[in-house]
Structure 1
């Protein structure tokens, strides 16, 4: 499955994967895990895995895979193409965590921080490989949190598999470098081809790297903030960068208490992915129906403060 197939819908989290090489179902395999986009305030976080038979480790090393952060975009694209073409012995998968998934997870009442989300995503990808018949013998992971604790956790969950969790694993193990490339290429393509779910008219797509300290990203966040509706779903609204701007630049919104609302209305707001989708849905439509009637904000962009409501 090609990474480009995700570009049609950026509002949800999903998994994309290559076919499983037949040899990976019969020979002992190694698997690497790494992520891209943990720190940005814009766009998704992507976890990647790459796996191959232990006997093919040298061939993977001969491809000269390296930590994706040390490579240029053309180099990453070229190496991903080579990995994808080695489908007789190399497989990969990426798990895309949308900005809304990240933010709603972090802000839910039961604490679910980014480390826990990262651990669960990595665990899910290992389980996916096992469920697909990959004969995993070795797993190499770039650490999230204390390495020894993470390694012990994975070893207990997957007995019989040799687990190695190391800081900077993407520069130590070629199989993790390959996973890093898959994750980074996926994220870059998604961010570059982002389809805004909201009808925002002409949107400036020069938003820089997406990291909070990038001047272009800072300028984009400031310009894109609506004082009532906040940010589109491209923004991780749980990040302090976004919250600080909303606290200082947006108007205060007062909601009725949930116990004073009818159950359907309260449930609708509880399940909304963002404030933008709440107001869109309240106009009589939903994100799955592109022909629904939209709030005037989305078509006219006239609403600028509570005074105009």
Structure 2
């Protein structure tokens, strides 16, 4: 039986992409993932996450990360909600992994609704497989199921890599990219003051970005 876990990193930041990670493993390999010490990626130090991401690939049958850029998020938000974007993104990972059972960290206040919407979306491309697919959608699944913890880790490591690449490219420390980060706030304000706009890797549809451009 092929089991998958899916989770995202970067749903909330004003800077950088969102990465949706998926890990596929045979049922008998799940204990191996658990024994690695995988956990919710937010509770692990960066070096530990990087080490685990490497180890996860040894035990997983497949690892897939779907990246959604800031500009893609801005475009999609013109026609759909963030919850709908999450369903689309998770479904893309599901299509790539095609498991018999999937555990997902629900990206909706209503976990059951997120699972149902995900299955419906998946069925548009794989109707027969969707009928057989078992979906477990829960909040904080990354802290409950090792296969989701693993997905959380690979997604977070990839997003961190992309943020570091951005910083290297522009030669400025942009912080974590989250609206609450003082470094991120400072970067946005300074860039806006200097250029009169914000770079393409910023999510312009975020209230934080709108406020910065208005000088608030």
**Structure 2 length as normaliser, TM-score?**
0.89
- 1:209–1:124 distance in 2 versus 1, CA, 3 Å: same
Aligned to 2:157: 185
For residues 228 and 73 of structure 1, what CA distance do their matches in structure 2 show? 32
Larger RCO, structures 1/2 (Cα 8 Å, 6+ apart): 2
- Deviation (angstroms), 1:226: 4.9
Aligned to 1:66: 39
For residues 41 and 91 of structure 2, what CA distance do their matches in structure 1 show? 22
Aligned to 2:126: none
Runs of 4 or more off by more than 4 Å in structure 1?
226-229
For residues 62 and 144 of structure 2, what CA distance do their matches in structure 1 show? 20
- Deviation (angstroms), 1:228: 6.4
Task: Note the residue ranges of structure 1 that are not aligned, 5 or more in a row.
Answer: 1-27, 131-135, 198-202, 250-309
The reply on whether 1:92 has 2:63 as its aligned counterpart is yes
- Is 1:227–1:246's contact at 8 Å kept on the other side of the alignment? no
For residues 195 and 204 of structure 1, what CA distance do their matches in structure 2 show? 5
Pick the aligned partner of 1:140 from 103, 110, 121.
Answer: 103
- Deviation (angstroms), 1:144: 1.5
Q: CA RMSD in A?
A: 1.8
1:245-279 C-alpha deviation (Å, 9 max, x unpaired) = 11237xxxxxxxxxxxxxxxxxxxxxxxxxxxxxx
- Computing the radius of gyration from Cα coordinates, the structure with the larger value is 1
The reply on whether 1:162 has 2:134 as its aligned counterpart is yes
- Deviation (angstroms), 1:212: 0.8
The structure with more helix, counted as a fraction of residues: 2
- Is 1:142–1:166's contact at 8 Å kept on the other side of the alignment? yes
Task: Note the residue ranges of structure 2 that are not aligned, 5 or more in a row.
Answer: 124-129
For residues 164 and 188 of structure 2, what CA distance do their matches in structure 1 show? 17
**Structure 1 length as normaliser, TM-score?**
0.63
